[in-house]
Amino acid sequence: MTTDPEVADELVATIRDWIRKDVIPTASEFEHADRYPEAWVAQMRAFGLFGARIDPEFGGLGLDTVTYARLMDELAYGWMSLSGVINTHTIAATLISKFGTDAQRERLLPILAEGDRRAAFSLSEPDAGSDTQAIRCRAARDGDEYVLNGTKMWVTNGERASIVALAAKTDEGITCFIVEKEPGPTSGGITVSKNIDKLGYKGIETVEMTYVDHRVPVSAVLGGPDGLGHGLHYVLGSLELGRINVAARAVGVARAAYDAAMHYAHERETFGVPIIKHQAIQFKLAEMATKIEASRLLVKSAAEKFDSGERTDVEAGMAKLFCSETALEVSIEAMRIHGGYGYTKEFPVERYLRDAPLMIIGEGTNEIQRIVIARGLVARWAEEHA
């Protein structure tokens, strides 16, 4: 998918204007109250963002990954949680688009593109995060159904979702199921067993979900019979897009922190002059701006390669690693430029500082990213020098 540059610029500008007009003025109020932004999610639905990556054939916008990443950057600039609402939904839609049967695509993608029914992505478990082979959630065949049992952790959108892309073990290996449910704390054998209170990333639910003898039809297997045992391959491929999303939202948070620091540095005076005149502050801002620009370019590079259809594990990993570390570093520096005020809820930098760590651990920890990058580089070097 390639998006017309004028269309892309117009859409990004529309989202940017909305974020600045409607979101930023009250984002901290919502965040501190840990309140779900119903009206803003409805507006994102009206913009078509839940169908951003879904082909127009199924009612989506069909945006390329570069444009999608720019939109996630703008959402995170206003409030990082908004881009999280879109992320797991888009991962699930991507799984169905790339690996679903014709029947699964034709039935589910229009629903996801419309955005009224949203999706969650469920891989991690209490004892299985980065070690995806360790998952214990089990799907046992029983005639024309599978019976699901197990507990999933860190499920974003879990309670409000109507569709869950779920990884579970079958006799053939790890398989991905497209589980349909009713929104709410319980649905059949699915229970939201715990809402997880977090340091940041508030306003959007992150939950533990328990499956007890929950039944799904055989048709829920992603990709049909050919998908049995191939779920981990499907999931890891789609996580490349998730990591580009995380990298893009890290850029948004870093930009917001930088702009807050720049604005404050022009207003705050010490020793008779605005602190922007002090070389120590100028050096901080120069470092921040340079790393933000490098981050933006890494996201663009990874998105372009993802759009080309090539394997993007290295590029997505690099972008996620560098951008998330940059977001944390820039947020800390922005707080330091604010001095004592940066440690209060009066200014938004404390929110950026609490949100930034999510990108370091989300979609695979940065320690795992380093392993993924290194293995990919070694494999590519071997191919090039064979």
172, 304: one domain: no
331, 189: one domain: no
**pLDDT tens, 25-34?**
999 999 999 9
**pLDDT tens, 41-85?**
999 999 999 999 999 999 999 999 999 999 999 999 999 999 999
Q: Domain boundary at 210, 229, 248, which?
A: 229
The mean per-residue pLDDT over the stretch 102-110 comes to 97
pLDDT value at 189 more than 90: yes
N-to-C CA span, the chain: 33
* Choice between 69 and 193, residue whose per-residue pLDDT is larger: 69
Task: Return the sign of the alpha-carbon dihedral for residues 151, 156, 161, 163.
Answer: negative
130, 197: one domain: yes
DSSP letter at 80?
A: H
Question: Which structure tokens are listed for 305?
Answer: 């390669």
185, 215: one domain: yes
Q: Domain boundary at 96, 114, 132, which?
A: 114
Confidence of residue 321 (pLDDT cuts 50, 70, 90): very high
pLDDT value at 130 more than 80: no
| Closest CA relative to residue 193, chosen from 150, 163, 147, 139 | 150
Q: Domain boundary at 195, 229, 263, which?
A: 229
pLDDT of 132 reads 72
From the candidates 363, 367, 383, 384, which is the catalytic residue?
363
Which parts of the chain fold into alpha helices (H)?
A: 5-18, 27-33, 38-47, 65-78, 80-99, 102-114, 231-267, 279-308, 313-338, 349-361, 366-384
**CATH code of the domain covering residue 81:** 1.10.540.10
Instruction: Respond yes or no: is residue 363 known to be catalytic.
Output: yes
Number of domains within the chain: 3
368, 246: one domain: yes
d(CA 298, CA 307): 14
d(CA 330, CA 381): 33
**pLDDT tens, 282-311?**
999 999 999 999 999 999 999 999 999 888
- Residue 218: give the domain boundaries: 119-229
The mean per-residue pLDDT over the stretch 86-96 comes to 95
User: Residue 304: exposed, middle, or buried by beta-carbon count in 10 A (0-12, 13-18, 19+)?
Assistant: middle
pLDDT value at 338 more than 80: yes
DSSP letter at 188?
A: T
187, 208: one domain: yes
Confidence of residue 237 (pLDDT cuts 50, 70, 90): confident
377, 251: one domain: yes
Phi, psi (degrees; rounded to nearest 5) at 203: 85, -15
The mean per-residue pLDDT over the stretch 180-202 comes to 93
User: Residue 289: exposed, middle, or buried by beta-carbon count in 10 A (0-12, 13-18, 19+)?
Assistant: middle
pLDDT of 88 reads 93
d(CA 150, CA 266): 54
The mean per-residue pLDDT over the stretch 96-118 comes to 96
11, 87: one domain: yes
241, 347: one domain: yes
pLDDT value at 1 more than 70: no
User: Which residue has tokens 């119903």?
Assistant: 38
pLDDT of 386 reads 83
**CATH code of the domain covering residue 273:** 1.20.140.10
With contact defined as beta carbons under 8 Å apart, do 199 and 214 qualify? no
Helix axes 313-338, 349-361, angle to 10 degrees: 160
- Percent of the chain, pLDDT > 70? 99
**CATH code of the domain covering residue 202:** 2.40.110.10
224, 85: one domain: no
d(CA 281, CA 262): 9
CA 37 vs. chain centroid, Å, equals 17
213, 274: one domain: no
β-pair type (119-122, 163-170): parallel
d(CA 340, CA 316): 36
**pLDDT tens, 341-353?**
999 999 999 999 9
143, 249: one domain: no
